[in-house]
């Protein structure tokens, strides 16, 4: 008897689940100007978060804080370059497992606004486009258009990506309620309706005709004219400097009926190296936010949590303003995920319009000052590249990163001069992208920069060396504007006085310096090779010069507890910091403290292990240490991202 009762109960539950799933729906009611979720009017108050900008071990922490802040939705981008690192090779594992992220978000209670590109901007390298689109040069492709070479790559990527989202659509039991077509397309010069129309058709093909598609553009008539797409709902984005009434009036010219939507409401703004840290006053945010909510608008905070441009993932704005490692954005949740006064004020404002969740606000992470770390100079960067690179390529003229097959980081060009008598001569590199560090032999002779000086008058009166080295740093591809053909490396001739230099050997570095994280054998690579006793002994037997590019390594202990810390490098000028821990090499990102406004690098505990860890600094311009004993960094318990910046030179 009990068996039959259990069987009937199971059948009833199964029927109920099927009924509930069948009743899941999300659409636009154009008569009542609202979204409708499960047959009820729905208004979202959302926040943007990018899974790639926070270690996956901390995804749940950030999402729980967003939920406790009163949001009922989140908005995410997908970055094409992360998921297709080389043509036809896909990565949806580990940090790139956006589906696991969606599952965590849904478990907490969120619905999700998906923005899958293909272009996303987001202050991410190349706006999320993969670097290899430029491998065949800039004459064969027109990004963000119906040009066939570009669209062939888009079709292949979407053919893999979009079907993976089908189980996560709201109608199928998942959290995704709306999907964006392209991204602020009206701000781009091509204005190609054939392109955006094909994107719309691909979304409908893979996700279904009933999925709510939308576009986002600033509230300008020309931009909305080019950015909107037939049969796709038009939304706008704006910050506190624009009147909500004026912005939504522009939206209404292209979405006569339907919900008012601000897809990007800016509670902060992005930073650039050499400019002040951007802030938006909380009172201004609340004034505009309340106005929008009183108009029954749907609002997404961009960014609600910014995070970090770990590794080489940052982008740049035109003409060339590179974004720093921190993507704090002056957001309600700070870079290390801390609750701010802005968060609390916005939460209180939300409570006036919808109930807050009955959950406590999660605590901020513990911050720990690990103290000073003694750095040791191990080897020049020229020597390290020469020894560790697995690909050195001979060409008559310098070639770009993309043509050589490396997407990010830095590479080394070298050639042999006819004559060591170079004193007083001028080296010119008009096409440097983006920053070049120049040596002749072991002597550092200076720096050239894309938007600054592109020539060096050499001061080497007793030079006997004839090997010229130019280490070129890719500081991030343009992610915005009309020039999305931003190849890297040396893109012009190199001349010494009036003589063109040819016969180059270029050594790549992506085999030993990761884009973000890489599993490494502790016996090899930067740490394994250069902490060996013979290297330490060799460098103690000669005078250490802190001038010019070099590799510095330190060993430090990490406690057995969860904490965040911040790496401060007063003695170092410009470079990349990495942590080697438990078989993983993690690229914390770029440092440039003398330029600012960012001085420290966020270092979450998930990047270290209890006990021995190594800190590696790849210094491009030379340390200011007076002696080896003076050459230290420090882990402190607070971030510095708002120092007074200095002019870039």
Active site residues: 184, 264
How far, in Å, CA of 73 to CA of 243, rounded? 24
Of 559, 618, 579, 211, which Cα lies nearest the Cα of 385? Answer: 618
Say if residues 141 and 166 touch (Cβ distance below 8 Å).
no
Contacts of 595 (CB under 8 A, 6+ apart): 273, 274, 574, 645, 646, 648
**Encoded tokens for 276:** 């002040």
How far, in Å, CA of 325 to CA of 601, rounded? 8
Strand 371-374 vs strand 632-636: parallel, antiparallel, or unpaired?
Answer: antiparallel
How many other β-carbons are positioned within 10 Å of the β-carbon of residue 570? 13
Say if residues 36 and 27 touch (Cβ distance below 8 Å).
yes
Whether the upstream peptide bond of residue 434 has omega within 30° of 0, thus cis, is yes
Say if residues 64 and 362 touch (Cβ distance below 8 Å).
yes
How far, in Å, CA of 110 to CA of 96, rounded? 20
Helix ranges (H only) for 77-192 are 80-83, 98-108, 148-165
How far, in Å, CA of 169 to CA of 161, rounded? 13
**Encoded tokens for 277:** 């840290």
Contacts of 629 (CB under 8 A, 6+ apart): 374
Half-sphere CA count of 188, side-chain side, radius 13 A: 25
How far, in Å, CA of 330 to CA of 324, rounded? 14
Of 409, 448, 447, which Cα lies nearest the Cα of 547? Answer: 447
E strand spans, 82-239: 111-115, 176-180, 212-217, 233-238
Provide the 8-state DSSP code for 350.
H
Q: What are phi and psi of 384, to 5 degrees?
A: -60, -45
How far, in Å, CA of 314 to CA of 322, rounded? 8
How far, in Å, CA of 203 to CA of 213, rounded? 8
For residue 173, give Cα distances in angstroms to 28, 48, 114, 167, 563.
19, 22, 15, 7, 36
């Amino acid at each position: 008897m009990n068996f039959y009762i259990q069987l009937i109960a199971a059948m009833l539950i199964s029927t109920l689940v099927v009924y509930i799933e069948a009743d899941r729906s999300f659409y636009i009611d154009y008569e009542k100007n609202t979204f409708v979720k499960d047959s009820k009017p729905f208004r979202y108050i959302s926040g943007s978060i990018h899974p790639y900008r926070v270690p996956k071990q901390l995804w749940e922490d950030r999402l729980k804080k967003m939920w406790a802040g009163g949001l009922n939705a989140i908005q995410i981008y997908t970055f094409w370059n992360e998921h297709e690192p080389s043509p036809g090779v896909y990565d949806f594992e580990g940090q790139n497992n956006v589906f696991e992220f969606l599952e965590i978000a849904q478990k907490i209670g969120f619905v999700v606004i998906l923005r899958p590109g293909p272009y996303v901007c987001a202050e991410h390298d190349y706006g999320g486009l993969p670097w290899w689109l430029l491998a065949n040069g800039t004459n064969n492709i027109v990004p963000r258009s119906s040009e066939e070479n570009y669209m062939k790559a888009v079709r292949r990527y979407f053919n893999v990506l979009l079907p993976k989202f089908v189980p996560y659509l709201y109608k199928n039991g998942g959290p995704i309620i709306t999907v964006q077509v392209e991204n602020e397309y009206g701000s781009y010069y091509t204005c190609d309706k054939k392109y955006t129309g094909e994107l719309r058709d691909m979304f409908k093909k893979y996700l279904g005709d009933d999925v709510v598609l939308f576009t986002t553009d600033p509230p300008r008539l020309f931009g909305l004219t080019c950015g909107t797409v037939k049969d796709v709902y038009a939304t706008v984005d704006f910050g506190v400097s624009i009147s909500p009434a004026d912005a939504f009036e522009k939206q209404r010219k292209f979405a006569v009926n339907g919900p008012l939507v601000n897809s990007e409401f800016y509670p902060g703004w992005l930073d650039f190296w050499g400019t002040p840290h951007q802030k938006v006053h909380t009172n201004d945010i609340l004034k505009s936010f309340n106005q929008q909510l009183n108009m029954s608008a749907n609002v997404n905070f961009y960014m609600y949590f910014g995070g970090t441009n770990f590794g080489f993932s940052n982008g740049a704005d035109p003409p060339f303003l590179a974004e720093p490692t921190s993507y704090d954005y002056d957001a309600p949740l700070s870079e290390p995920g801390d609750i701010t006064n802005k968060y609390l004020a916005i939460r209180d404002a939300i409570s006036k319009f919808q109930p807050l969740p009955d959950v406590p606000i999660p605590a901020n992470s513990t911050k720990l000052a690990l103290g000073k770390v003694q750095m040791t100079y191990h080897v020049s960067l020229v020597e390290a590249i020469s020894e560790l690179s697995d690909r050195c390529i001979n060409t008559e003229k310098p070639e770009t990163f993309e043509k050589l097959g490396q997407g990010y980081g830095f590479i080394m060009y070298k050639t042999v001069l006819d004559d060591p008598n170079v004193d007083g001569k001028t080296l010119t590199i008009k096409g440097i992208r983006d920053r070049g560090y120049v040596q002749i032999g072991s002597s550092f002779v200076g720096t050239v920069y894309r938007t600054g000086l592109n020539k060096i008058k050499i001061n080497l009166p007793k030079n006997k060396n004839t090997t010229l080295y130019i280490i070129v740093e890719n500081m991030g591809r343009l992610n915005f504007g009309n020039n999305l053909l931003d190849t890297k490396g040396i893109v012009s001739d190199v001349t010494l006085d009036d003589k063109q230099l040819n016969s180059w050997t270029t050594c790549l570095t992506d085999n030993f310096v990761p884009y973000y994280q890489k599993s490494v054998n502790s016996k090899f690579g930067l740490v394994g090779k250069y902490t060996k006793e013979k290297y330490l002994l060799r460098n103690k037997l000669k005078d250490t010069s802190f001038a010019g590019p070099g590799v510095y390594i330190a060993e430090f202990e990490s406690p057995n507890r969860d904490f965040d810390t911040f790496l401060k490098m007063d003695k170092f000028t410009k470079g990349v910091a990495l942590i080697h821990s438990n078989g993983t090499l993690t690229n914390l990102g770029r440092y440039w403290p003398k330029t600012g406004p960012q001085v420290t690098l966020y270092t979450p505990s998930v990047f270290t292990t209890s006990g021995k860890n190594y800190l590696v600094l790849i210094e491009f311009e030379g340390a200011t240490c007076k002696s080896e004993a003076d050459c230290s960094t420090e882990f402190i318990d607070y971030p510095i991202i708002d120092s007074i910046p200095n002019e870039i030179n």
